[in-house]
Chain A
Amino acid sequence: MAQAYKTEFDTPEIKEYPLIPHIRKGAMEHSKPFVAKAQHQESLGFPGELVDNWQQVALAKMAELLGKYRSIRVFLDTCVKCGACTDKCHYYLGTADPKNMPAARQDLLRNVYRRYFTLAGKLFPKLVGAVELTEEVLQDWYRYYHQCSECRRCSVYCPFGIDTAELTMAGREILASVGVGQKYSNEIITKVQKIGNNLGLPEPALANTLENLEEEIKDDTGVDVRLPLDEKGAEVLLVTPSADFFAEPHVDGLMGYAKVFHQAGISWTLSSYASEAANFGIFIGNYDNMQKLAQRVRDAALELGVRRIIVGECGHAWRVAYSFWNTLIGPFDFLDPDYPVPQHICEFSYDLIQRNALKFDKTANDHRILTFHDSCNVARASRMGNMPGGQFVIPREIIRASCNHFHDMSPETIHEHTFCCGGGGGLLTDDLVELRVKGALPRMEALQQVVDEFGVTHMAAICAICKSQFSKVFPYYGFDMDMVISVHQLLGDALVLGETH
């Protein structure tokens, strides 16, 4: 079955003052990602295509999830339709489609929940908006649960903390269970399970890539900085998103990590078996797949005999690692208890900076004027350091240690209020390019403001998805695609390599 998507669309206009649009019904009704092929459904344990009794299967799945997740049950019951979340989603702000308002997105599930699982919905469906689970509803689930990047911005402002991401995950889990999974995420999960990373990069290719990077650093700096692979007995296992191995600007970040390890004099290694920090199991809301992917990291750590695990720059990967790993694949009693498990590469570098173990030549970054994009999953679903809010302080401190020119974007667009890049949550695929461009609008507006005000030339990020997404959507808004940069590239460029401490 050939699937198509819209490539011609209007890029939203950057306004001087961001406006909340009036609703435009059906504005993004045409947007949906490609459906997964049978083989990529079955490899994840789902039926290959829409099952005949899908309605029954979907409701059974819903009942199962209601019993397994307190979040889902409480969130479906609790919304008072106060509307505080309705103008908080970047996809609503960028598309004006009312079904992209968080409460309305939740309602796609809630209305069905009410019809089949609550007394009020069974007795008075019209009164409480309860609806039958029809083909049209299933279509809406597929459309609009793939117009949510699971960024949790709505959850910050909801008086009850209702997190639409939880319901999006539930929606996607039900969709996959009846046979309509999403091509992009399912293919990627399959690749990790077969080969070890999202890109399907096998061990020899990976080894080759790392060698090339070592040469590149040598050419640039004259120093032998290593990027070791599968080295047993190393102190640290680094698990990083596979985009770091080849994509721009990610790869410069990877070289930055290598330089920091080099300077710190700590032995480290990558693993070809667990060569992926990303965990798309979270995106499709499937616990088993998420656990299976995470399990590779535990196995690799044990196999290599490392003492610590450090995670590279990636948003949702850090959420899974920080918030979920201990539950999914813990306990980590075989690792060094003196260090947090897992540790973020930024925590690692920040610690070295705090201890004056790194020397910087900040002028190396003087041709750059920086701002920083808080990645949604780091900002709202995890933490760094040992103080609340450390995830905001630490990356900025690293940037300040490496650069002379740094300016934050407007306060209502950073920290916990940050806007998603528009490509998170399993949406970083060409078949959703219109959604991605439009969803980036709020971040683009905030960026434009600091470009105008301070002449900002680069936006640093600590997420593989953010970096890829911005490289893609920047040109639509008249920015240069190279404006996005890894935090560890900044650090790497300013780091004075020499005798190790």
Chain B
Amino acid sequence: MSLVSILYALLFYFAAAVLCVGILLRIRLYAHTPQPLKIPTTPAPATRAGVVMRMVREVVFFQSLFKGCKWTWLFGWIFHFALLLVLIRHLRYFIEPIWAWIVIMQPWGVYAGFAMLAGLAGLWIRRIAVDRVRYISTPSDHLMLLLLIGIAGSGLLMKYVWPTDIIALKVFFLGLLSFDWQPLAPDPLLLLHLALTATLMIVFPFSKLLHAPGFFFSPTRNQTDNPRERRHLNTWATEPDTGSRP
């Protein structure tokens, strides 16, 4: 097997480990950090079921962002939804036999690739063109968009311009999964696409991409508005000594 194949095999094991362990550690940290007070933001549901619905609306439709900025919402939602479709489409490289619903999703995954690029382009233009957004951006915010554009762009180029042998690619990934390493075709575009993807996986737990797990721990969104009905306890507070008027 070629050196490139070995390097890429190692790279993907490393990236997958960093991604999973990194996110799990972060989730553990969030889960173990107490939230002393009730701070849900209006419109806060008064029941647990209402909160679940609120969270679903946020994750699926980006409800608050819709209220906040229609353009960002449009581009951001297109990008994320497209990303989801693309990820689903990619499952075929990791599963054998391929589940029927993934087969059905295949053509959508391709359109989604273009939609993803469009969404990312819109987000980047906004980041550069609007002085307020430009002000709050750090180099990493631009690079993150560039990275995702690179991934989407290289993927689409493989699909339409310089195809790669996807059967061999699938053999490579199934090999990784079963710890029975197989060679990887040394296509420059494929190697670029995979290297960028591994980079994304590695930076995920150390970057703002933590917004994905972080959202679920946001107390302003996941708390129930029932402080009078149910006493919320602060684990680190000392109980007031009752009736101690000096």
Chain A interface (Cβ < 8 Å from any Cβ of B): 20, 22-23, 66-71, 73-75, 77-88, 98, 101, 103-104, 107, 118-120, 124, 126-129, 152, 155-163, 166, 273, 287, 291, 295, 298-300, 302-303, 322-324, 326-331, 340-342, 379-381, 383, 386-389, 391, 415-416
Contacts and interface: CB of A to CB of B under 8 A. Distances in A.
B42 A326 contact: no
Interface string B118-135: 000000001100111101
Interface stretch (B62-70, B81-89, B96-104, B106-114): B62-70
Given A152-B41, A388-B45, A69 B35 contact: yes
Contacts of A119: 206
A85 B140 CA distance: 19
A158 B39 contact: no
Contact of B221 (A103, A160, A416): A160
A127 B214 CA distance: 21
Given A159-B64, A326-B227, A415-B42, 5 more contacts: A81-B136, A86-B132, A88-B68, A127-B139, A156-B42
B140 A163 contact: no
Contacts of B203: 120
Contact of B130 (A83, A126, A161): A83
Contacts of A80: 141, 208, 211
Given A78-B208, A381-B42, A155 B220 contact: yes
Contacts of B221: 160-161
A84 B39 contact: no
A101 B210 CA distance: 22
Interface stretch (B26-34, B158-166, B172-180, B182-190): B26-34
Nearest to A415: B42
Given A84-B68, A160-B221, A161-B64, A71 B35 contact: yes
Interface of B: 26, 29-30, 33-39, 41-46, 50, 58, 62, 64-65, 67-69, 72-73, 76, 126-127, 130-133, 135-141, 143, 203, 206-208, 210-211, 214-215, 217-221, 225, 227-228, 231-234, 236-237, 240, 242-245
B136 A156 contact: no
Given A23-B131, A81-B133, A341-B228, A71 B39 contact: yes
Contacts of B41: 152, 155-156, 161, 163, 380-381, 416
A83 B65 contact: no
A83 B69 contact: yes
A157 B217 CA distance: 17
A299 B64 contact: no
A70 to B, nearest CB: 4
Nearest to A329: B240
A68 B34 contact: yes
A65 to B, nearest CB: 10
Nearest to A103: B136
A327 B231 contact: yes
B167 to A, nearest CB: 37
